[in-house]
Amino acid sequence: MTATIKDVAKEANVSPSTVSRVIADNPKISDATKKRVLAAMEKLNYHPNAIARSLANKSTKTLGLLLPNTDEDLFNNPFFTQVMRGISIYAQKKGYYIMYSYSNNETQDIEFIKSYIHSKWVDGIILLSARQEDKCIEYLKNIHYPFVVVGRPKDSQSVLWVDNDNFQAMYNVVTSLMERGYKDIAFIGGPQSLTVTNDRLKGYKKALWERGIEIDENYILTSEFSELAGYEGAKRIIEYKVPQAIVTTDDIIAFGVLKAIKEKNMQKIAVIGFNNTFLAPYQSPSLSSVDINAEQIGYQAAKLLIDSLEDKEGNNKPTYYIVDTKFIERESTQL
């Protein structure tokens, strides 16, 4: 009769899971226990299944990608699809697969992460957003699990991450507008819980402050990354005081701003978006936008994570990557 893993466990006076860990050469198993299990295997002439042993010792060659939106919202914002394309290009190049999950909130994010890890479905995780106080990042750091973040995390020293210099990008946009005579410049951004919103808002304020322009908090609105938020935000600002320009943190928000301006027949207000999505040139007027090179962000995120996973010798490799931006001027800035 052929011996089983349970027979080996009984002979060695350990659990079947301990036998499995010995077969997988788990470093957490003591040498004494390993010797006892190996002796039992030899005595019972037990040979572990070759395929199972191979799977235990090899990576899954799969990355878990956590998307911070429902599937309905996801495809309304081209940023995510562009980042996903970049991730897929590098992953495919290195022979990795991508497993996607969608979530509506941070609690659900944590649940998906735990599911990925406990099921051993993936070798590492890619997070597509960085919050100011990010529980996902803290959890993954605390358990020392491989991951990379799209966005600058609060602790940028001990985490793999990829982003633009969002502070500088917005600072450059506002500075460019002021150099051309614009002074009354409003700001409409996404959620302030996100690092990207705060970095761009800081760039906006810094540019105004350096030129002695008083910051009017009524000219600053933060809400969601949606066309409706841009539309309602622009109407609210215009009712307070008509600005010369409105800068936004996303093209989707800017589309709503353009709609509100058109309704009010105030086309002389300059509007700037971020991401330079494929729909930007087709707005009326065509939208000026900052090209953040989202596909390159995704590509570099996958590269950082995979390079880290495959770095067997622990070489000192980069822990972050800054992707360049470019201001694309179109009709909406009337420059």
CATH number for the domain that contains residue 29: 1.10.260.40
Bridge partners of residue 185, in order along the sequence: 245
Measured CA to CA, the distance from residue 191 to residue 189 in angstroms comes to: 7
Neighbouring residues of 142: CB distance < 8 A, sequence distance ≥ 6: none
Q: What is the extent of the structural domain holding 305?
A: 62-164+294-325
Co-location of 147 and 244 in the same domain: no
Q: State the pLDDT at residue 118.
A: 79
Please state the rounded mean pLDDT for residues 246-274. 94
Smallest CA-to-CA distance from 272 within 203, 212, 194 is with: 203
Co-location of 281 and 172 in the same domain: yes
Co-location of 185 and 204 in the same domain: yes
Please state the rounded mean pLDDT for residues 157-169. 94
Judged against a pLDDT cut of 80, whether residue 228 lies above it is answered with yes
- 331 in any annotated domain: no
Handedness of CA 67, 72, 73, 79 (dihedral sign): positive
- 227 in any annotated domain: yes
Q: What crossing angle do the helices spanning 5-12 and 16-23 adopt, rounded to 10°?
A: 100
Co-location of 151 and 298 in the same domain: yes
Q: What crossing angle do the helices spanning 227-240 and 251-263 adopt, rounded to 10°?
A: 50
**Cβ atoms within 10 Å of 203's Cβ, excluding its own:** 23
- 335 in any annotated domain: no
Spell out the alpha helix ranges (H) of 120-157: 135-142
The domain total for the chain is 3
Judged against a pLDDT cut of 90, whether residue 171 lies above it is answered with yes
pLDDT band at 88 (very low <50, low <70, confident <90, very high): very high
pLDDT band at 125 (very low <50, low <70, confident <90, very high): very high
- 131 in any annotated domain: yes
Co-location of 217 and 158 in the same domain: no
Please state the rounded mean pLDDT for residues 95-105. 87
- Average pLDDT taken over every residue of the chain: 88
Judged against a pLDDT cut of 50, whether residue 51 lies above it is answered with no
- 332 in any annotated domain: no
Measured CA to CA, the distance from residue 3 to residue 14 in angstroms comes to: 16
Co-location of 137 and 281 in the same domain: no
- 333 in any annotated domain: no
CA distances from 294 to 3, 70, 72, 268 (A): 55, 20, 20, 30
Co-location of 186 and 299 in the same domain: no
Q: State the pLDDT at residue 53.
A: 47
Smallest CA-to-CA distance from 46 within 81, 80, 10, 77 is with: 10
- Choose from 8-22, 143-157, 185-199 the range with maximum mean pLDDT: 185-199
- 272 in any annotated domain: yes
